[in-house]
Amino acid sequence: MISGIILILFGEAAVLDSPWHAAWAAFFLVLNLLYIPLVEEPQLEKRFGDAYQRYRGHVRRFVLRLRPWRPGS
């Protein structure tokens, strides 16, 4: 979902030819590049343990997969 929002924000900046929208999109990108690995992922590791580690090993953070990951496959 975050990657979709980031793409929309940069798309708005391009369509509107707005440096302010581009700055907001860049700020949102940097904010998420910091928040997700520093805050969200440690909380998920604490909550789900090894299952989350296996999941994270197969699913990339921002880049979509062409096929869904299924545990045990």
pTM for the model: 0.74
The Cα angle at residue 41 between residues 38 and 47, in degrees rounded to 5: 130
Domain-embedded: residue 68 = no
Domain-embedded: residue 64 = no
Domain-embedded: residue 22 = yes
Q: How far apart, in whole angstroms, are the C-alpha atoms of residue 14 and residue 69? A: 33
| Domain count along the chain | 1
Structural contact between residues 48 and 40, judged by C-beta atoms closer than 8 angstroms: no
Q: Where are the alpha helices (DSSP H) in 1-73?
A: 2-16, 19-35, 41-48, 50-58
Domain-embedded: residue 49 = yes
Q: What tokens does 17 get?
A: 């030819």
Domain-embedded: residue 69 = no
Domain-embedded: residue 15 = yes
Q: What is the pLDDT of residue 73?
A: 67
Q: Give residue-wise pLDDT tens across range 20-44.
A: 999 999 999 999 999 999 999 999 9
